[in-house]
Amino acid sequence: MEKKQGKSRKGEVKRSSDSRKREAKRSSDSPKGDVAIRLNRYIANSGVCSRREADELIKKGLISVNGKQVTDLGVKVSLNDNVTYMGKKLQPGKKVYILLNKPKGYVTTVKDPHAEHTVLDLIEGATDERVYPVGRLDKSTTGVLLLTNDGDLAGRLTHPRYGIKKVYHVFLDHEVIKNDLEKIISGVELDDGLVSADAASYPDPEDKTQVGIEIHSGQNRVVRRIFEKLGYDVRKLDRVFFAGLTKKNLPRGTWRHLSPREVNMLKRGMVN
């Protein structure tokens, strides 16, 4: 009997050890107390920027830990550490996800001394957390824009490797010929390389000055540059779909919080 009890106790010890390992892994994703995570993740969780952008802040010497400037990307910190960005203390908070139907005339940079309005002006009062736009829409482009303080998700949605789907409604200065639609799909050579859309069509067969374009590229101003290369002037550009999110029932200039189902969709990667 003694031997059987001993084996049972050994089994319990092993299971307990495995449980501790799993718990430690979970804790590493959400630091508590002295549980350490990489500095770039800490910064991203604080709502400043994505992890990739956080690496740039670290390399530029804009981040300090416990009063000392840090430039090493491998540094790890915990909630017990004092992490500051340009003198302001950072603190990871609850995750917030806001969907905005961006109007014309607003920039998507968080701070721009030359801009009269930023998209943050439109969501004033929506949250006490520091959120920032996921990706960019230029000042003249309207439509779907996600703002969050979830740096991990923001990094995934903007990383070229994931090829997040975006759909735009484009209004041009003159009719787009069918041959140019085919060029847009087969590929247009821009200054920074060949870019091709996944689909391009006429939303209204009676009005060929309008084009719907589905694209995964995240290059800056890519849709405008494609049409400019082909000899068209973009009169209006509206993003109607981003990563599974649409502006349905969301009037221009208004916002709403994402539902738990939408957040889960984004995190599971069901965005294509």
DSSP SS3 for 166: strand
Catalytic residue among 112, 138, 192, 233: 138
Distances in Å between the Cα of 60 and the Cα atoms of 30, 54, 86, 113, 131 are 26, 10, 11, 21, 22
- 191 vs 126: CA distance, rounded Å: 39
119 and 103 in contact (C-beta within 8 Å)? no
Q: How many CB atoms lie within 10 A of CB 214?
A: 15
Check if 207 is active-site. no
User: Count of residues for the chain?
Assistant: 272
Sign, CA torsion 173/117/169/272: positive
Interstrand relation of 97-102 and 132-133 (parallel, antiparallel or unpaired): unpaired
Interstrand relation of 245-246 and 234-242 (parallel, antiparallel or unpaired): antiparallel
Phi-psi region of 68 (alpha: psi -120 to 50; beta: other; left: phi over 0): beta
SS3 assignment for 249-264 = CCCCCCEEECCHHHHH
148 and 97 in contact (C-beta within 8 Å)? yes
Catalytic annotation, residues: 138
